[in-house]
């Protein structure tokens, strides 16, 4: 019964989650991450989808200075602790919404798994960033490589999940009208 209620409202959940996720993303990109880039003159960790080396990480953390490192920890990280869950909810509810009338449910399971994977790697990235900033100036190479790997994984899985959602939406649009409206 509860599952049926949830499915009835999955479209609204997807829309509200998308609005919240987009709002947090816009705040990060236009305010906190932009500020960090201005202060350090380098792209913040979150904006490096191909990762970073220990030298690049050290340059960024050093370039932030004391005030920039504090800003990263007190402004950017709190926002980026909200965003992964909101993005995962947006993507998973959207794929459930679009995929609920498709005969092959594996696409839904795969989409939800990708959505959870995004959040998991984004949280690992966030904890790694916090650890790097707090351990400055003694940031270990393995910590940087682990955090960078999480960044790359997050970026790759996000791309795959968004493509899957778009493809599922395209398929949904092509379903017969009676199925598409239900």
Tokens of 128: 């790694």
What's the farthest any 2 CA atoms get from each other in the chain?
A: 61
Instruction: Read off the pTM.
Output: 0.90
pLDDT 10s digit of each residue in the chain, 182 long? 456 677 789 999 999 999 999 999 999 999 999 999 999 999 999 999 999 999 999 999 999 999 999 999 999 999 999 999 999 999 999 999 988 878 778 989 999 999 999 999 999 999 999 999 999 999 999 999 999 999 999 999 999 999 999 998 888 888 776 544 54
Distance CA 25, CA 89 (A): 14
Helix, strand, coil: what percent of the chain each, to 5? 85, 0, 15
């Amino acid at each position: 019964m509860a599952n049926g209620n949830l499915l009835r409202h999955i479209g609204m959940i997807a829309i509200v989650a998308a609005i919240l996720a987009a709002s947090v993303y816009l705040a990060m990109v236009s305010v906190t991450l932009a500020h960090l880039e201005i202060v350090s003159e380098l792209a913040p960790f979150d904006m490096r989808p191909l990762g970073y080396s220990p030298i690049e990480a050290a340059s960024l953390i050093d370039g932030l200075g004391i005030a920039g490192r504090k800003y990263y920890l007190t402004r950017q990280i709190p926002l980026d602790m909200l965003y992964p869950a909101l993005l995962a909810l947006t993507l998973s509810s959207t794929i459930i919404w679009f995929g609920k009338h498709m005969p092959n449910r594996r696409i839904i399971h795969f989409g939800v798994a990708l959505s959870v994977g995004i959040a998991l790697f984004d949280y690992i990235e966030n904890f790694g960033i916090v650890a790097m900033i707090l351990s400055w100036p003694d940031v270990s190479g393995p910590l940087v490589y682990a955090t960078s790997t999480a960044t790359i994984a997050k970026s790759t899985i996000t791309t795959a999940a968004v493509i899957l959602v778009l493809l599922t939406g395209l398929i949904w649009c092509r379903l017969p009208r009676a199925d598409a409206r239900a």
